[in-house]
Amino acid sequence: MSASYKKLKLNSEVGDTKEFSDLPLVANFNEVKDDETLDARYLTDDVRKVATPLLEEEIPQSVLLQCRQISKGWNHELDEQQASHPFHYHLEYIVNLDVLPITKTTNTFLTLEDIEKFMTEMKNHPGNPFPGRNIEITTPESLGSTREHKILCKNYWRSAIQLLNLFGKHVRHLSIDFRAVKLGMENVAILRNILLQVPNLQVLKILMFEAVADDDLINSFQGQYPFPPLEQLESLVMYDVNEHVMHTVLRYCCVAAKLKRLALPSYNNYNDGGSSFPKVITSFLNLETLVGDFTLEDLEILSTAEQKPPLKHLLMGMDGNIEDVEYFKLEAFSDTLVYFDLQCKIIVPRRLLGVFNLPNLKTLIFRRYEGSLDPFLNFKSLDHLEIDEYEPIELDSGWYVVDIHKMEEKIYKSNIWNLIPSLNTFDFGVEMYERKVFEKVLENN
């Protein structure tokens, strides 16, 4: 057994940090040979894959970074466990997914000093300095005059680009926050220069781009300084991003066959609240998750595209009400849709019973619901139902097959559990009800 392995004592002292005190934060593998680090008899690939998640749960983050010194195999496995965890690839707006959250290993750079310190420490580092391949860069907050703040921010972004020029190829998950300062078209140039440095990016989040320019100016900039295609990009979130910049990123940075998850939670704020559905979205052939202030008319545009995407998760946050005629437009995705969250009021009369079906739908969320739940009797896979505010259309609840009217205090006496046997959880108002409790109540009675 190697001396390095004995020193780390990973078998018996996982939580003890004293043995790590004299180890460097990140190993220089140019100075270490594989056969000098760890005896293969005690750390096969299979053992490493089993041990790594346990280490991530039990060992403090600072020690976990030092574990990367053990060998190239350990380094790779620790990074991959973090970077490839399914939780990274689900948009934060989608809830109740069967994916357990993890504590993200994120390198966050809030100040110019953070960047300079990191670059000094990593000056001679030959490989990936980001254990989770996940970084956040954020415009520094204002501490002085507007002019001083702009100078500070320009220096910050210049250093951030230098940092990514050195290590950007290792980054898979990137969050860029421009909220603290308005630099006009300079922000567009900064965004482009950042994206040029991260060719292997898989998840991108851009926050708060102020209105910077019109379409002609953005197109002129794109003509001279093209935004790069991000060949590996699977997930994209743009919050309050200028409409013209948003369209540029969608058109030039997203590869049509690669993008799977898209969130534009404020896109309908443009054009005085009117719809301006980005037609480029219809080209995303493998789009699975869509979040935004979309209308069902927008959804119809997507469903009639030359090749309809396999939408699985859909969250819509539009204004106004949805009537039952519009409701049918969801059926265009009935083969694939498993999650639907509607942020506006929906009116669903009982006459839809038997003629409307989403056979694979597992999660259904309504913020304001008016009408009958009877149409849900067709949803044979429905596992989770959530209704924040409910009111019936008819006062006589006996008119419905599914009876929940005036039953907020006694949902376990509702026939919904028998009529929808796949239903396991029901969030009604401020309470959550579970089938396992219903079954215990039934057993006791």
If asked whether residues 215 and 344 sit together in one domain, one would say: no
User: Where in the sequence is the domain holding 222, given as residue range(s)?
Assistant: 99-288
- Positions in the chain whose pLDDT score sits under 70: 1-93, 95-104, 143-144, 210-214, 267-276, 318-328, 348-356, 393-399, 405-409
Picking from 172, 169, 212, the residue whose alpha carbon sits closest to that of residue 188 is 212
What dihedral angle (degrees, nearest 10) is formed by the CA atoms of 393, 394, 396, 397? -30
If asked whether residues 112 and 73 sit together in one domain, one would say: no
If asked whether residues 117 and 264 sit together in one domain, one would say: yes
Total structural domains in the chain? Answer: 3
User: C-alpha 289: how far from its chain's center?
Assistant: 10
What would the two tokens of residue 144 be?
A: 């002085």
**Alpha-carbon distance 197 to 16, whole Å?**
38
**Alpha-carbon distance 325 to 344, whole Å?**
16
Taking the whole predicted model, whether its pTM rises above 0.75 is answered as: yes
If asked whether residues 143 and 281 sit together in one domain, one would say: yes
**Alpha-carbon distance 77 to 81, whole Å?**
6
Q: Is residue 117 part of a domain?
A: yes
Q: Is residue 79 part of a domain?
A: yes
N-terminal to C-terminal alpha carbon distance within the chain:
63
Contact of 414 with 373, CB cutoff 8 Å: no
- Coil, strand or helix at 119: helix
CB atoms closer than 10 angstroms to residue 407? 15
If asked whether residues 111 and 69 sit together in one domain, one would say: no
Query: What is the CB-side half-sphere exposure of residue 240 using CA atoms within 13 A?
Result: 9
pLDDT tens column, 126-184: 788 887 788 999 988 876 678 888 888 899 999 999 999 999 999 999 999 988 777 77
Longest pairwise C-alpha distance within the chain:
79
Query: Where are any strands of DSSP class E within 372-410?
Result: 384-391
If asked whether residues 213 and 171 sit together in one domain, one would say: yes
**pLDDT for the residue 62:** 46
Distance set, CA 122 to CA 63, 116, 125, 191 (Å): 17, 10, 5, 24
If asked whether residues 142 and 77 sit together in one domain, one would say: no
